[in-house]
Amino acid sequence: MRVDHPLKAVTLAHVRYQRGDQLGHFLAWVSLVPVFISLGGFVSHFYFRRELQGMFFGLGLLISHFINELIKKSVQQARPEACALLEMCDSHVTTKWAALFLPWSSAVLTMYSRVYLGYHTVAQVFAGAALGTFLVGVWFWLVNSKLFCYFPLIEESALGRFFYVKDTSHISDVLKFEYDNAWAARKGMAARKVMASKNS
């Protein structure tokens, strides 16, 4: 015997706005910035850079998301009438504040977009911003005062060496360091080619 279960949608990028509302259309895309940062930015950063600070930053965002979901499930404050789902803290705002704490204009624009589009109340986006600010502060303190000493162990572990995981937080100017090393490697290769051509 078949039991019918109610359907649930995956709403990764389902953002609604009023047809013809140009500002709403723009803000719908703005509200998706945290999703793009989380999926595109961190996946590519992990794959190409393999930096421990970035990995722990991404781990902090995942923990922030789970804490946010736990609060949503326990509080179950209704969204504005424009959105019938039950939720409390805005995870878009929490993620934005946790991921982009310094670029205030982007975070504020995300907050505004969530209220303008009717997905959250002003109180809900401020709750998300406060939660994001608190979590980023705690996570920053935890990583940089308690977990930081384990970075060399992770870097030197078999998995760390296999996946080329690195910690460059001790280098004051990583961009210059990488440029200087690439330049020196290119010069060394050119010198070896000259020596090889002289010997043959």
pLDDT in tens, 2-17: 566 665 545 556 677 7
CA distance 191 to 177: 21
List Cα–Cα distances, 19 to 30, 42, 59, in angstroms: 17, 32, 37
pLDDT band at 123 (very low <50, low <70, confident <90, very high): confident
Q: What is the pLDDT of residues 156-186, one digit of tens each?
A: 999 999 999 999 888 899 889 999 999 999 9
Mean pLDDT of 48-66: 85
Task: Look at the pTM and tell me if it is higher than 0.75.
Answer: no
Delimit the domains of the chain by residue range: 7-79+99-169, 171-199
What residues have CB less than 8 Å from 30, skipping those under 6 apart? 109, 110, 113
pLDDT for 122 equals 87
Whole-number Å distance between alpha carbons of 37 and 27: 16
